[in-house]
Amino acid sequence: MRRMVVGIVLAVMLTSEAVAGPFEDGVAAHSSGDYATAARIWRPLAEQGNSRAQNNLGLMYDEGQGVLQDDAEAVKWYRFAAEQGNAPAQLNLGLMYAKGKGVPQDYVQAHMWANLAAANGNDTAAMVIDITAAQMTPEQIAEAQKLAREWKPK
């Protein structure tokens, strides 16, 4: 009986691990504070084009978690994910433009990326749109909206 229970438990564990996958392993490592392991797990996924891993790696560079803090590297990873239509990455890239972190400050770009994030369901983006719009001329807002309308994912 004990062997059968151990076999069933082992089968369940192996099945759940197979379903979880490497991305979720990175989430677990990050959640437990093991940022270096999360970065090690997400980097190959990000390099293979996984937009969630790209965004998360961008966040790690943005915050200096498990990697040296590097705004330009954060922007690089955010951009890869944002260009695929990843809404959190679009907002993160917009914030980098709004703050001038890793890129020259550019409210038109910030507003455009925040607009795209909002269109893709990111509820927080509206706040960034309002904040950036307060710093912009009506012509700049129109330009940002035009860029967002014409934008196509890569």
| 55-69: pLDDT as tens digits | 999 999 999 999 999
| 86-136: pLDDT as tens digits | 999 999 999 999 999 999 999 999 999 999 999 999 999 999 999 999 999
What pTM, to 2 d.p., does this model score?
Answer: 0.86
Phi and psi of 103, rounded to 5°? Answer: -145, 160
Domains defined for the chain, CATH in brackets: 18-150 (1.25.40.10)
Phi and psi of 105, rounded to 5°? Answer: -60, 130
